[in-house]
Amino acid sequence: MGTAAGPVHAAGKARDVRTILVVEDEVLVRLMVAEQLRSADFHVVEAANADEALAVLRYTTDVALIVTDIRMPGSMDGLQLAKTVRSAFPQIRIVLTSGNLLKFSSVNHDAFVPKPYEPDKIIGLIRTLLN
């Protein structure tokens, strides 16, 4: 935990556990992905939209990777969030997800995972990106 003036660490996190930020507006999908990642021994922070994700990133220093849906309501979608994160937090890995096969630049993300998720594949992909 940081000081009142500085960034803080995500609560409840062991030092050697990597933190994944899951950004997904469909609560049952978010719940499923978060639980699968926790079962794989990741520390998971859940955000319901891009605004919540940015609030977390501004005040925690621990996030190593973001898994974000592309189509989300709110001030920005997943592509805009990825662009913002890549610019402001270039050390954070970015995995985009969608139920639709979309064409987009690879500049602002490290990988794309189609929905529905296959747990073993996304966990393996995240481990590869973080190594």
Partner 1 sequence: MTIAADPSNKETILVVEDDILVRMPIAHYLRDCGYKVIEAANADEATTVLLHQETRIDIVFSDIEMPGSIDGFGLAKWVRDHRPGLDVILAGTVSRAVDAAKDLCDEGPVPKPYESQVVYDRIRRLLAARNRAT
In the complex, the residues that contact partner 1 under the rule CB under 8 A are: 1-5, 7-8, 10-13, 27-32, 34-36, 39, 45-49, 52, 55-56, 58-59
Residue 43: CB minimum distance to partner 1, A: 9
Question: How deeply is 82 buried, as exposed, middle or buried, from its count of CB atoms within 10 A (0-12, 13-18, 19+)?
Answer: buried
Residue with smaller CB distance to partner 1, 48 or 129: 48
Report the nearest approach of partner 1 to the CB of residue 31 (Å).
6
**Residues in contact with 64: Cβ distance below 8 Å, sequence separation at least 6, in sequence order:** 18, 19, 20, 92, 93, 130
Q: Which residues contact 103 (CB under 8 A, 6 or more apart)?
A: none
Nearer to partner 1, 17 or 111 (CB): 17
Least Å distance between CB 13 and partner 1?
7
**Identity of the residue, 14 or 107, whose beta carbon is nearer to partner 1 in the bound complex:** 14
Taking alpha carbons only, the member of 120, 15, 30 closest to residue 66 is 30
